[in-house]
Structure 1
Amino acid sequence: MAPHMLTAGEHQTLSVGDGGDLTSAEAAVLASLAQQRRGFCTLGHRSLKLAQYVGLVNLGGRVLEVLPKIGEDADAAKGRGTLLRLLRLAYDLPVFEHGGVGHGLQQRDLLDVFVLAYLRALLQLVRAGLLRRYRTEEDDLGVVRGRMMLGRQVAVHAMRIDRVACRFDELSIDNPWNQVLKAALFAARPWARGLESGRLWLEMAAALDGVSVRRDALELLAMLVPDRQVHHYTGALRWAGWILKLLSPDLRGGGSQAPELLFDMNRLFEASVAALLRRRAFAAGWHLSAQDDGFNLATLESEPGRSYFRLRPDLVLREGTRVLVVADTKWSRLEIDRVGRLVPDVAHVYQLHAYASVYPCEEVTLIYPWHRGLEGAHPTAFRLPACGTRQPMLRIICIDVAGDDMPFRVVGSGCYLGRLT
């Protein structure tokens, strides 16, 4: 029987102890996990507060499902939809129906969705044809195949003319790539629930019947070296790795960390926005780079050639060598003032001011997730102090993560990123 699910939202506080959300043992497991993932959670008095990580944690008897939360909306289905959309963009996983995240998927437990997505990706591989590789076999045959094993032939079959000891190469699906897939398939068995998942699991088990079961599949996955023959395995292997990490972890290292599949929402939002804008920028003839590190904030006075405080903006949009805009993504709640202007965090503004003072651009942008509390907001831009002959503009824009196409909201005229919508 599959373990029970416990659903929570990011930054939610869970009670600990008798009658609480978590048992003391489960809270201890999560506290241990926080030592590996700094900021995952903090312990309080008979309570545990989650932070910006979302995803799944295997607690043994239960699985903790942590979902993203925007604004005051704590609806679990919407949170799942948001997470699945961001994962689809960030990791290029077009395994959801029509490339989108439908209502049916949002109503399932997150792990159930991951298992179904893996089974669908595996089905595509099987239909395209599983990878086959040659491997050396030894057998006693009725005719010569490959090379004779003279030593065995003389010792075992010296008086027989109907058996020939042979060593030969056999084209087989039993190779490391398919062994990883089968290990993930068997790990996911308790979560292959519902008619579609159950049917797909049985079909895939039959398709991989000739593949060996490996207990060290995670270690094996890390050792695989991709080539052109296995390029079409990328999506299925990513799902397989996630499922193995959560449901069949390699514990030989002796650590007590709980098996988990967690995503930092700050990084996930950044990667998703970068993937979304990169496609649109390419169509416009522009180039978008992520985590750009071409500039520093200062040089040492005594050694002018030595630079310090490297700047790493999330996104830099260029046209040839010309910098059009520098942008940072922020997975945090944006507020509006009483007249409807967007009010960013002051620390975020200082950060963008530092970028504007160094990067030769006319525009810097803060990108936040849209939420219902921003209804009626006006396009908002601020003039920053002059930098030589430049006086950069700071623009605040939002992306609606509730839609599959993730449209921009409250974008003023003249905004470079607005032209990519």
Structure 2
Amino acid sequence: MSQFAGLVNLGSRVLEVLPKVGISSDAPTDRGAFLRLLHAAKRVPIHSRGAVGHSVERRTLLGVFISAFLDEVALLARGGLLRQYKSLNDDLRVVRGRLQVPRQAAVHGMRPDVISCRFDELSIDNPRNQVLRAAMAVVRPWIESVHAARRLTELSAAFDGAGLVRDAVALIDGLPPDRRALRYQAAIRWAELILRLLSPNLRSGGSAAPEMLFDMNRLFEAAIAANLKERVRPLGIDLAVQDTSHELEERDSHPAFKLKPDMVLRRNDSLAAIADTKWTAVAPGRSGRIEPEASHVYQMNAYASAFGCEDFYLIYPWNPSIDSAAPSVFHLKRRGGAPVRLNVVCVDVGSDDFPARHGSFYFLDGSV
């Protein structure tokens, strides 16, 4: 569980599992770091219209997620909900659509004041609006403030015309593609996460404790890759994620032992650097430098033997214990060639732009 963070539904309570980013961090700090990583990695559509501030950090994760969901629903309501034509049968005072002759003769033959009609009506009662209404109904018991409760009530009223379905998750799985509904993507994504976590219908399935958990290794990797990609683009450097262009052996034209570094940086088709992220707490060794785990170094050495690159980076989350660490650069021996440089960089996930607090990325100054 130490490598996962998020929420677990225990029935009457939701357990909040926070990542540990430092040896003395508190819950708001850990929560803020987690939210920043989620935002940067685009794992959930959170805080698309603002940064992660102290007021957000001090709320529960569930409260933040519900608020983000309501933000997306409010955006849809202001822009107008998706409407589709729906065929209806009704007994009216005036003709609308087509007259239902068989029913009129059988049921209302002696009542000229009632006309049986079949007509098409533009309605918000469609699967996407039904999913959002179901998610709003599910979050109601978990609302944490009067302001949020009032907001939920106002938004729910806008969806009164949509049917309240029992199994909204199954409805999500069957949603057909619709270009008119592209603006619904963020709200539907939130609705799916919330329904899978909180919907009581799911508790009879195979999962005893529904959860919304994220692998911190993957989350850290995706967040750093997205951040670096934006920073190196103006320098003419391309960043590829999970590159599979090299292997340790090729026998009879069949590659073996495929390598897949987290990030490969190229400038004009020439290798500039290779980097791997590790969600691991590090500390200075006896030398005063940060000494990575041996397995991490062996992995980078394998990359060096296949890629022929000179600069390699191991990227870790920063924590206060490494403030006094010496520059951590290692020169790995390479038979038949000059040593390669392995740089240890620690980034501060407690800041929105993920600055390097230990070590540096040489390619960012344009020298690579």
SS at match of 2:116: strand
| Structure 1 pair 142–398 and aligned structure 2 pair: CA distance change class (3 A) | same
Between the two proteins, what is the percent identity of the paired residues?
Answer: 48
Q: Deviations over 1:313-345 (max 9, x none)?
A: 111222343232221110001122355422111
3-state SS of paired residue (2:362): coil
Matches within 5 A, 1:159-174: 159-174=110-125
Equivalent residue, structure 1, for 2:30 = 79
Q: Quick one: distance in 1 between partners of 2:7 and 2:365?
A: 35
Tell me the CA shift for residue 175 of structure 1: 1.0
Report deviation, 1:381: 2.0
AA in 1 matched with 2:163: S
| 1:176 matched residue in structure 2 | 127
In the TM superposition, what are the counterparts of 1:223-372 in structure 2 within 5 Å?
223-248=174-199, 250-251=201-202, 254-300=205-251, 304-338=252-286, 340-372=288-320
Q: Which amino acid in the other structure matches residue 259 of structure 2?
A: L
Q: Secondary structure at the match of 2:202?
A: coil
What residue is the counterpart of 2:65 in the other structure?
Answer: 114
- Amino acid across the alignment from 1:266: N
- Paired residues of 2:38 and 2:223 also in contact (CA < 8 A): yes
Deviates more, 1:182-191 or 1:85-94: 85-94
Equivalent position to 1:404, from 347, 352, 357? 352
Seen in structure 2, the aligned counterparts of structure 1 residues 281 and 167 have a Cα distance that, compared at 3 Å, is farther
Question: What SS class does the counterpart of residue 178 from structure 1 fall into?
Answer: helix
SS in 2 for 1:239: helix
Correspondence for 1:66 among 5, 17, 27: 17
- Which residue of 145, 158, 171 maps to 1:207? 158
Q: How many residues align?
A: 367
Query: Residue 240 of structure 2: SS of its match in structure 1?
Result: strand
Q: Secondary structure at the match of 1:384?
A: strand
Counterpart code for 1:416: F
What's 1:136 paired with?
Answer: 87
Supply the RMSD in Å over aligned alpha carbons: 2.5
Is the CA contact (8 Å cut-off) linking 2:45 and 2:190 kept in structure 1? no
Q: Structure 1 residues 189 and 372 mapped into 2: Cα distance closer, same or farther (>3 Å)?
A: same
The answer to whether the 8 Å contact 2:247/2:255 transfers is: yes
The SS at the match of 1:308 is: strand
Kept in 2, the 8 Å contact 1:56–1:66? The answer is yes
> AA paired with 1:385?
K
Q: Which string of whole-angstrom CA distances, capped at 9 and with x for unpartnered residues, describes residues 365-411 of structure 1? A: 11100111111334322222337666432211111001122112233
State the TM-score, normalized to the length of structure 1: 0.80
What is the letter of the counterpart of residue 170 of structure 2?
E
Flag structure 1 segments of 5+ consecutive residues without an equivalent.
Answer: 1-39, 41-50
Shift of 1:191: 1.7
In the TM superposition, what is the alpha-carbon distance from 1:120 to its structure 2 partner?
1.8
Describe the SS at the equivalent of 2:334: coil
Write the letter of the residue equivalent to 2:356: F
Q: Following the alignment from structure 1 to structure 2, what is the Cα–Cα distance between the partners of residues 156 and 349? A: 83
SS in 1 for 2:205: coil
Cα distance between partner residues in 1 of 2:5 and 2:56? 17
SS in 2 for 1:145: coil
Q: For residue 406 of structure 1, what is the amino acid of its counterpart?
A: F
Letter in 2 for 1:207: A
Q: Which amino acid aligns with 1:77?
A: P
Instruction: Give the superposition deviation at 1:77.
Output: 1.1
**Partner amino acid, structure 2, of 1:351:** Q
- Say whether the 8 Å CA contact 1:123–1:200 is kept in structure 2: no
2:203/2:210 contact within 8 Å kept: no
Letter in 1 for 2:238: H
Tell me the equivalent position of 2:363. 416
Structure with the bigger RCO (C-alpha within 8 Å, sep 6+) is 2
Name the CA shift for 1:387/1:121 in 2 (closer, same or farther; >3 Å): farther
Q: Distance in 2 between matches of 1:196 and 1:401?
A: 30
How far did 1:161 drift? 4.5
Aligned equivalent of 2:107: 156
Conservation of the 8 A alpha-carbon contact between 2:46 and 2:65: no
* 1:117 counterpart SS class: helix
Output the amino acid matched with 1:68: P
Q: Could you list the per-position Cα deviations for residues 153-189 of structure 1 after superposition, in whole angstroms to 9, with x for gaps in the alignment?
A: 3333445554443322222111111111111111111
Q: Describe the shift of the 1:78–1:147 C-alpha distance in structure 2 as closer, same or farther (beyond 3 A).
A: same
- Aligned residue for 1:16? none
**Structure 1: how far apart are the matches of 2:344 and 2:308?**
19
Q: Which amino acid aligns with 1:352?
A: M
- Give the gaps of 5 or more residues in structure 2: none
CA distance in 2, matches of 1:249, 1:282: 46
Q: Does structure 1 conserve the Cα–Cα contact (< 8 Å) formed by 2:46 and 2:68? A: yes
